[in-house]
Structure 1
């Protein structure tokens, strides 16, 4: 009888976790496609270059944005490099659209400020800018906290069910 309770608690935990993952993904506003896509880096200075990546599209992929000329990634290739317009405004976020057949997916490209040119022998007075502004791999702290709370709650319920004594006083 105890094994049934433990198994039930474990299954409940797995079900809760699997049902919360799609909701967290949808909350981020990402497009769901049968193919993968991305822009690297996701933040670039005006006139900089980015790599457009596509995975799992078995057709020609067209990539377009208001910050660079449309580019076509031929069938069988997985990436292309484009140059961002030199007159792109820093602080602006542009949408990049990947079109594979009848499906399309979108992601953002952020234009960052231009850093001053460094001269040989010149040492910067401040450290380099690093990180993604309070996010970890695309998740913000509220999503991580919500996920941790769901996991903790599920484990607590599973522990409670596993420790419950039978009502009739019999031991299994």
Structure 2
């Protein structure tokens, strides 16, 4: 009879521990989640820019023309034999938003992100291109994750839940053992 109680407590403990462990895929962070593997290299510099700023679009190893598209600047073209071009970010870009930039080299595409910082590059909120009405392709959303930023408080709370489960299982096992020998 005691073996059944111990097995039940062990099963309860194992279940509690299994449910509190994050999945292995949730531990991947930052650039490791970018499964964007192409036969050519590409980048946007800087990766964070203020609205109205100028970015450099670079490509390495593309044997043809490269088309670069995004909802935050006009389509750009990098001719064969060149490795970069520049693009001006729209003045009405939303501060803090993240936009997807797509590089297309002979039908093969690669994507990276461009984040819009707060403020203006010239510091005086000069709206030079306010007459320009660009087509808004939208903001890239859904980047984050529920396990992206565990802090000390959340880790302590999870540890307390595990400890409480183990203590309850131990208490129930010890109490039942004592009741049978009375």
- The answer as to whether partners of 1:65 and 1:97 remain within 8 angstroms in 2 is yes
Over residues 63-117 of structure 1, what are the superposed CA-to-partner deviations in whole Å (9 max), with x where a residue is unaligned? 0000000011000000001100000000100000000012000000000000683
Aligned to 1:88: 93
**Of 23, 27, 40, which aligns to 1:35?**
40
Q: Structure 1 unaligned segments of length 5 or more: list them.
A: 1-22, 119-139, 143-172
- Would you tell me which structure has more strand in proportion to its own residues? 1
Q: Structure 2 unaligned segments of length 5 or more: list them.
A: 1-27, 125-147, 151-182
**Are the structure 2 counterparts of residues 87 and 141 from structure 1 closer, same or farther at C-alpha, using a change threshold of 3 Å?**
closer
Aligned to 2:61: 56
Aligned residue for 2:74, secondary structure, equals strand
Q: Which runs of 4+ in 1 moved over 6 A?
A: 23-26
**Of 99, 117, 120, which aligns to 2:123?**
117
What does residue range 1-172 of structure 1 map to in structure 2 within 5 Å?
27-114=32-119, 117=123
Aligned to 2:164: none
Structure with larger Rg: 2
Shift of 1:29: 2.2
Shift of 1:30: 3.2
- For normalisation by structure 2, the TM-score amounts to 0.49
User: How many positions carry a matched residue from both structures?
Assistant: 99
Shift of 1:28: 1.4
